[in-house]
Amino acid sequence: MFDRRSARDGALRLLIGLLIAWLLTGCAGRELATRDEPGALSIDRALILAEAKRSLGTPYRYGGTSERGLDCSGLVQRAYSRAGIRVPRTSRAQFQALPRVDEARPGDLLFFATAGGRKASHVGIYLGDGEMIHAPGHGRSVTTTTLTLDYWQERFLGAAAPAP
């Protein structure tokens, strides 16, 4: 004879197990992995990093793409254009369109969900040695930051490599 209570309890246990697995997977995020190869930069990557370094100290300006002010994706667009590489304008469009990599090398892009949710809202350029160059936000300037901070680790979405 079919026992409804037993079937309902089994279905409930299965549902709870799936929910716990989903929650644990959602909390894990992607691992921010890097690979530094001293002396192995392509000319494109060297140009990108040189332009990004030249932008250090430039004030943050939402929508900015010039030396008068840069936002995070404007910094990326400006640095990549120095190497003749076109990238989309916004961090979200860059994240959606550019080829992903498992390990970031110097010159690659790092994407983060800083506005909550799982959509790219911030991008930086991997500098090497566990640091990135980025335009952090209103009232600040283009700067470097360490990627070992929990803030970046917890919000990391993925890396992309538009440069050879």
Q: Given the structure tokens 């250090």, which residue do they identify?
A: 56
- Phi then psi dihedrals of residue 101, to 5 deg: -135, 155
Q: Which of 45, 78, 122, 155 is catalytic?
A: 122
Which one-letter DSSP state was computed for residue 145? Answer: E
CA–CA separation, 153 and 80 (whole Å): 24
Q: Which of 45, 78, 134, 155 is catalytic?
A: 134
Active site residue 72: yes
Active site residue 122: yes
Q: Which of 49, 52, 70, 72 is catalytic?
A: 72
Active site residue 27: no
CA–CA separation, 123 and 158 (whole Å): 10
- Phi then psi dihedrals of residue 66, to 5 deg: -135, 180
Active site (catalytic) residues: 72, 122, 134
